[in-house]
Homo-oligomer: A and B are copies of this chain.
């Protein structure tokens, strides 16, 4: 019953998330032996003011 949680910047389309969910679920089934119906994928989208790398907000890059 794998849970896949993805934190990323907001702005991807539903279609991009559709493809990601399918491919990531395929990988969990084929490479980790998970049951397809048990794989959950959730996207947590954050704004550029809520995401930093190297100590600098994405909004400031």
| Chain A contact patch, size range | 35 or more
CA distance A31 to B57 in the complex (A): 15
- Assembly stoichiometry (copies): 6
Cβ-closest chain B residue relative to A35: B54
Cβ-closest chain B residue relative to A19: B31
Contact present for A31 and B20 (CB under 8 Å): yes
Across the interface, A14 reaches (CB within 8 A) one of B27, B31, B54, B59, namely B59
The residues of A with any CB-CB pair to B shorter than 8 Å are 1-9, 12, 14, 16-28, 31-34, 36-46, 49-60
Given contacts A20-B32, A42-B50, A43-B51, 7 further A-B pairs with CB under 8 A are: A17-B49, A21-B57, A22-B52, A23-B23, A36-B55, A40-B40, A44-B44
